[in-house]
A and B are shown apart, each in its own frame.
Chain A
Amino acid sequence: MGPSASGEAGWRVYDAEGCAPCHFIARVGNPRSPLGRRGTADAGDLHDEPHGLSEPLGALPADSPTIPLPRQALMSRSPLPRPSAPPVPSGSGEDTSTQSQGELAREASDRTDLEGELRMWEAKCAGILAIAVDAIVSVDEEQRIILFNQGAEDIFGYTREEVEGQSLAVLLPERDRAVHERHVRAFGEASVPARRMGDRQEIVGRRKNGEEFPAEASISKVEVNGRLLYTVVLRDVMGRRNAVAELARYADELARSNEELERFAYVASHDLQEPLRMVASYTQLLARRYRGRLDSDADEFIGYAVDGVNRMRELINDLLTYARVGREGREHGPVDLDQVFARTLSNLQVVMEESQGIVTRDDLPTVDGDEPQLIQLFQNLIGNALKFRGVDVPRVHVGCEQGRDGWTLSVSDNGIGFNLMHQERAFTMFQRLHNRQDYPGTGIGLAIARKIVERHGGRIWAESEPGRGSTFRFTLRDGN
């Protein structure tokens, strides 16, 4: 119904969303502007009381430009049938004077409503124009600037007075001017109901001081009595662009340093294996062949050497495992956690037997992941639960809960627990919370667990209290 209603007032609206504010452009513009001067003559029957309508924006000269109406106003003005006044057949000749008086009265009251509505709209639009951070610039058919809001002043560094009546080109770098001029013209000539020109196109703007800046711009057009009016809304994205570039640079640096660290850990642990193997093998060979055949000092020394080598081997192996989590990730796919559980228990057979532990599980889901890594994860968590046991028979339960974005798995035990104050420490590589004599290990198990969970896009945390067992929870994506 738009075309007929607005056609009545000599307006045609082409903007993308049919949003009303573009009707106000000419009204807010400088009356000296070309459109203003031209617009007055054809203002149409709605514009016979410009002063009354202009109040919210302050008094305007008598030759104030067109007073475009919001669509709603235009609609209500259209001669729709009204229940209280059925149309009277023309030429009936009866009671015409009474009827026309009634019509006049109604019309007067309609007009008052309309004026109120208009004032409201104008006030709203003036507010929007004043506080918009974006530049809002309207140009006439010759692409001369007729509206330049506060946002535009801030962005371009020109005052409204400086640019009004000037070509839009002053806001563009010289090299782009011709192209833009053609674009806008083509946009004006397009017969299709227009979209945003280039749908939030990126353009380059030029400030008064000559500085160029990237901007996102969209444009709408309005036809006023056969003449086009364009409005450009433009956002300076230089700050954002710089911030994004900066962030990307930091992210790159971080990724690179992480990668280097991982490679270092891998190479170091890998290359350390070779000499370690020699030391380990020969101290073991010494122990094997000569224990009890030299004196007791020699036996003690050999014993320490073998111990040291064993510890070092564990450390290097764990470090290698940790580095591999990053380096050797496979494609993720559906992984049945029931199977992971079964594999884990078979890997932990020795510990299970030694600890007499009882490990139970819920029906576990299928998740998205890398199976060997998930086995490693389960192994580290269940292995820990068995290792850090109290005086009771260790009981470990693997549970699961479905959440909005996937699954939360839990490994709970009745072990010695720990103070949550030390949680971060527990997850950090080579940090231990307990005495090595009581609980052997390198202190890398939970660091590996965390790395695996994070590589699966999840997170891991603990709930614990000294003497009351621990629960480790982690999230994984659903695999179906």
Chain B
Amino acid sequence: MGQDGNWVKPIEILLVEDNPGDVRLTQEALKEGKVRNNLRVAWNGVEALACLRGEGEYASAVRPDLILMDLNLPLKDGREVLREIKSDPSLRRIPIVILTTSQAEEDILRAYDLHVNCYITKPVDLDQFIRIVRSIEDFWLSVVRLPTEGASR
């Protein structure tokens, strides 16, 4: 099924992450994946929300098919962003994957209470990280059937 990806529109992913090292790693991992994608990066929570709502300089931003987000972000915390997205009827159907270093039980509970779609702890090992990014891609972009409102806002 992977090869078909070349013929359809690339998948839009919004990565909300403040660490350039992690951004690059995610890009590298996605590069090794099989789904054609456009990765857009928001470096903090405020930028993420502006981007999703097409505000200001983000007026032309494309609605993402998937959001990958860290929890600890500058300006606006990931938990806060999560809460705002999930209480916004026009955004809440976009699947959100929390990708963070925190293994704290309370962070996990909190995120699910805020209706996160899944919570993943970043592994230290590169191979594992690549495997995880690929399985996110595979599951959310190939296996799962998402609502068809698609890219239109």
Contacts and interface: CB of A to CB of B under 8 A. Distances in A.
Interface of A: 270, 273-274, 276-278, 280-282, 284-285, 288, 313, 328
Contact of A281 (B25, B103, B105): B25
A284 B21 contact: no
Nearest to A314: B124
Contacts of B21: 278, 281-282
B125 A273 contact: no
B109 interface: no
B101 interface: yes
A284 B101 contact: no
Nearest to B122: A277
B105 A285 contact: no
Interface in B57-115: 101, 103, 105
A288 B126 contact: yes
Nearest to B25: A281
Contacts of B19: 278
B126 A313 contact: no
Contact of A284 (B22, B103, B105, B125): B125
A273 B101 contact: yes
Contact of A276 (B25, B28, B105, B124): B124
B108 to A, nearest CB: 12
A273 B25 CA distance: 16
A281 B101 contact: no
Contacts of B127: 284
Given A281-B25, A285-B28, A313 B105 contact: no
Contacts of B28: 285
B126 A280 contact: yes
Interface residues of B, number: 15
Interface string B11-29: 0000000010110010010
Contacts of B124: 273, 276-277, 280-281, 313
B101 A274 contact: yes
A313 B125 CA distance: 9
A51 to B, nearest CB: 85
B129 interface: yes
A277 B101 contact: yes
B7 to A, nearest CB: 29
A101 B131 CA distance: 117
Scoring B123, B126, B129 by chain A CB atoms within 10 A of each residue's CB, the highest score goes to B126
Those 4 A-B pairs whose CB atoms lie nearest each other, nearest first: A284-B126, A281-B126, A278-B21, A277-B124
A61 B126 CA distance: 103
Contacts of B105: 328
A285 B31 CA distance: 13
Given A281-B21, A281-B25, A281-B126, 20 more contacts: A270-B103, A274-B101, A277-B122, A277-B123, A277-B124, A278-B21, A278-B22, A280-B125, A280-B126, A281-B124, A281-B125, A281-B129, A282-B21, A282-B25, A284-B125, A284-B126, A285-B28, A285-B126, A313-B124, A313-B125
A242 B93 CA distance: 66
Contacts of A277: 101, 122-124
Contacts of A274: 101
29 contacts: A270-B103, A273-B101, A273-B124, A274-B101, A276-B124, A277-B101, A277-B122, A277-B123, A277-B124, A278-B19, A278-B21, A280-B124, A280-B125, A280-B126, A281-B21, A281-B124, A281-B125, A281-B126, A282-B21, A282-B25, A284-B125, A284-B126, A284-B127, A285-B25, A285-B28, A285-B126, A313-B124, A313-B125, A328-B105
Nearest to A288: B126
Contacts of A288: 126
Nearest to A276: B124
A291 B31 CA distance: 19
A265 to B, nearest CB: 15
A274 B123 CA distance: 10
Contacts of B25: 281-282, 285
A410 B103 CA distance: 32
Contacts of A285: 25, 28, 126
A273 B101 CA distance: 8
B9 to A, nearest CB: 29
A357 to B, nearest CB: 26
Contacts of A328: 105
Contacts of A281: 21, 25, 124-126, 129
A102 B84 CA distance: 112
Nearest to A287: B126
Contacts of B103: 270
Contacts of A282: 21, 25
Contacts of B125: 280-281, 284, 313
Nearest to A281: B126
Contacts of A276: 124
A284 B112 CA distance: 32
Contacts of B101: 273-274, 277
A350 to B, nearest CB: 15
Contacts of A270: 103
Nearest to A312: B124
A367 B105 CA distance: 25
A370 to B, nearest CB: 14
A284 B103 CA distance: 23
A398 B75 CA distance: 54
A328 B126 CA distance: 28
B146 to A, nearest CB: 30
